[in-house]
Amino acid sequence: MKDLPMSHASPLSRRAVLAGLTALSAPALFRPRTAFAEAGRPFIQPPLNEGRFENGRRVFDLTVAPGLHEFRPDIATDTIGIDATFLGPILAARAGDRLRMNVGNRIGEPMTLHWHGLHLPAAADGGPHQEIAPGAVWSPEFDLMQKAGTFWFHGHQHERTGAHVWAGMAGVLRVTDEEEAALPLPRSHGEDDFTLVLQDRRFDADGQMPYAMNMHDRMAGMQGDVMLVNGQTSPVLEVDAPMIRLRIVNGANGTFYGLHFADNRTFHQIASDGGLLAAPIPMPGAILSPGERGEFLVDLSDGAAVMLRAETFGAEVAMMGTSGVHDVMEIRPRAARPAPALPERLADLPALPDATGEDRRFDLAMTGMGMMGDFTINGMGYDHSRIDFAVPLGATETWTWTNTTPMLHPIHIHDVQFRILSRNGQPPADHEAGLKDTVLIRPQETVALRLSFTDYADPVLPYMYHCHILEHEDAGMMGQFTVV
């Protein structure tokens, strides 16, 4: 195989996707992967589940159980699914709904299910303190206090998050609201609006994907060489629409995706983790860290087929460079036809709230070579019985993160949608200026966030803040705070 500089293979992504990722990046290699399965199977999405209504509540019944999933025809791989053989349904709900989630645990070991990105009481969060015993059903109830957007849910069991998500314990929550519904955007699920959970997996000779970590996996997070879209390899999406919306979830354990199109066409980001941006942002490429979501508009008016690609990075990109470029999904428009104009404005983002409370500092560090337990925040690993601090209810705080490790860390904070104040003293890029719950902190970077803690207090039960590389989280790069 001939190694080509990335600038030959993918000039726009080299400039736009890697730019600023790290100045230390080794020359990137272009290594097209051999197909894992025969390409060209039709793109499929998990079923849309709108729940059922009961006493004014939207109720979702979710059963988490072992599955056998065919990633390759006629090869059954052991998995975990949520009412499916791998991953779970796309839950559809409206902002303001009262939700009740009935989560049944049939996996034979303790688990939790965390509602990633939602503002809710700590008791309903689904973090490590809301353990569901084998055979039990957990039924939190809460108000859906989000803007329209793409959220997700996944396992969060203490020290088992990586294993559970790797096996398939994750799903998507699609939230709609009136503000979004009034905009001229594609929103017909399965026609011009598609949800993609991106993951990568490693399979053994028997077609299984054991959660067997080697030294590198412990340091950098589990990564695979097979790209999955909703648990499927190399799908083809045929569409009739001249403009489509892709809701993309990075559901990987430890892989960063630098998304771009093979023909380097510009696409537009319209939403970040917590909902719509102020205006569509033209992007030649977009990085999604583990845990992050983005919604993108893709113009298909030329009628030409195009390949969505992902340049994949591990946390150690600063030391090792990228691990390759993967074909993710081919999009085939059935015809050329004019695309509608993009809306000039999307949402009115509220002004950054003024700080009323503490300035807190978080130092991300590692010792040794990232052996188990060596990832720390403020010098400490996670202790399930230690609450690191309490935030007064109603406070707006500034949390400043500094990364002294040579690795990338996507930091996720439960309960809140926050705003990025600055990266190394500079204002955030437009696509990072909206609502966020997960933020990439590069080596040697200092990132300041503004967060408001409203509505829910609990003197006992905490929320989590942690690295969303699940192997870093499980190794202790996590802390807990209460809102009181």
Binding interface with Cu ion (CB under 5 A)? 409, 467, 469, 472
Q: Which is nearer to Cu ion, 122 or 364 (CB)?
A: 364
CB of 349 to Cu ion, least distance (A): 28
CB of 473 to Cu ion, least distance (A): 7
CB of 283 within 8 A of CB of 334?
no
Range list of H helices, 64-182: 161-167, 178-181
Distance CA 293, CA 271 (A): 8
Q: Which is nearer to Cu ion, 270 or 469 (CB)?
A: 469
Q: Which is nearer to Cu ion, 149 or 291 (CB)?
A: 291
Distance CA 8, CA 404 (A): 32
Q: Which is nearer to Cu ion, 84 or 469 (CB)?
A: 469
Q: Which is nearer to Cu ion, 17 or 469 (CB)?
A: 469
Distance CA 89, CA 172 (A): 7
Range list of H helices, 355-450: none
Closest CA to 46 of 93, 97, 81: 81
Range list of H helices, 260-400: 317-320
CB of 152 to Cu ion, least distance (A): 19
List all residues 6 or more positions away from 296 whose beta carbon is below 8 Å from its beta carbon.
245, 246, 248, 259, 267, 268, 269, 270, 283, 286
Distance CA 279, CA 271 (A): 9
CB of 429 to Cu ion, least distance (A): 21
Q: Which is nearer to Cu ion, 277 or 469 (CB)?
A: 469
The kind and range of the H/E element at 399 are: strand 396-403
Distance CA 76, CA 200 (A): 17
Secondary structure tally for the chain: helices H, strands E: 7, 33
Q: How far is CA 417 from CA 135, 151, 366, in A?
A: 33, 11, 27
CB of 289 to Cu ion, least distance (A): 10
List all residues 6 or more positions away from 297 whose beta carbon is below 8 Å from its beta carbon.
185, 186, 243, 244, 245, 267, 268, 270, 280, 342
Q: Which is nearer to Cu ion, 331 or 469 (CB)?
A: 469
Q: Which is nearer to Cu ion, 116 or 472 (CB)?
A: 472
CB of 409 to Cu ion, least distance (A): 4
Q: Is 444 helix (H, G, I), strand (E, B) or coil?
A: coil
Q: Which is nearer to Cu ion, 409 or 431 (CB)?
A: 409
CB of 83 to Cu ion, least distance (A): 31
CB of 411 to Cu ion, least distance (A): 8
| E strand spans, 50-158 | 52-54, 57-72, 75-82, 90-94, 98-105, 114-116, 137-138, 141-143, 149-154
CB of 218 to Cu ion, least distance (A): 12
